[in-house]
Amino acid sequence: MKTKTEADDVFQEAFIMLFQKIDQYKFSGSFEGWAKRIFINKALEVLRKKQRHMYVEIEDSSLNYVVEEDIKKPDVKLSQDELLKHIQQLPDNYRIVFNLYVFEGYDHKVIAQKLKMAVGTSKSLLSRAKSVLRSRINEELKKKVS
């Protein structure tokens, strides 16, 4: 979600769903994994309802930027909060695929199934998300050096 308030709302809705479905837990496998699946699926459901058009490909012309080499100055770093801010600012379709792949550990086939898109689209969105993040992080690091 883009804001903490939206995330809190989805979190609360997912907890309600978890309690409504607790009788469906079969005690096979971890409870955490079962609960995590409910939370992720609820978040994806909300995103799908909110923006059905978010998976439309963005034209390549909007991605004209130069990815620079990493700044070699060792004392210049980004905090975790700064990094999360950049991730949250990604376009929705980039951010969702990035989070599912990087943080949740899903492969592109699973992401494609969950988001009802082609595997190639998932790979493309992840690649673009990484490029945009790299560019934004390089810009922020340059500002810190100046």
For residue range 127-141, list pLDDT tens digits in order: 999 999 999 888 888
What does the domain layout of the chain look like in residue ranges?
1-50, 62-146
CB-based contacts of 52, cutoff 8 Å, min separation 6: none
For residue range 66-102, list pLDDT tens digits in order: 333 443 444 557 778 888 888 889 998 999 999 999 8
- CATH no., domain 62-146: 1.10.10.10
The model's pTM? 0.60
